[in-house]
Amino acid sequence: MPIITWSSNLSVNVAEMDRQHRKLIDMINELFDAMSSGKGKDTIGKILDGLTEYTKTHFASEERMMQLHNYPELSTQQSEHIKLTKQVTDLHERFKSASGSLSITLETMNFLKDWLQNHILQNDKKYGPYLNCRGVN
């Protein structure tokens, strides 16, 4: 069972960003499934590697799009992205340094779920209407 489910409520009405958000959701669900079914540290580590890298890729893509269309809250988004990237990177580093123990807990999974949902709902939803008015859908 997924820990987070895509719904139209999470849509920012920009197809490329919605696709990337869905991919992030899929990656968090893959990590949750691996943790729930007792997969080994190597498997979970590879999923976390991918999630960490894709988070950076996604944020860079969002920022390029916002810059291209002179989004007025770009600097706010960039600050939020820096903070969130650091949180995910720190989580990843803690996991890698945990000698022999699987440190991905339900609390960690809930953090990732809340982190993504809150970022989309509180930050990303703001750029959708702005970009839609500029022909980006």
In tens, the pLDDT along 30-89 reads 999 988 888 878 888 898 899 999 999 999 999 999 999 999 999 999 999 999 899 888
Query: Does residue 87 lie in a domain region?
Result: yes
Q: How far apart are CA 86 and CA 89, in angstroms?
A: 5
Establish if 120 belongs to a structural domain: yes
Q: Does residue 34 form part of some domain?
A: yes
Q: Long-range CB contacts (< 8 A, 24+ apart) of 38-41?
A: 41/100, 41/102
Which CATH number fits the domain that encloses residue 36?
A: 1.20.120.50
Instruction: Tell me what percent of the residues of the chain surpass a pLDDT of 90.
Output: 66
**Which residue range forms the structural domain that includes residue 78?**
8-132
Count of structural domains, the chain: 1
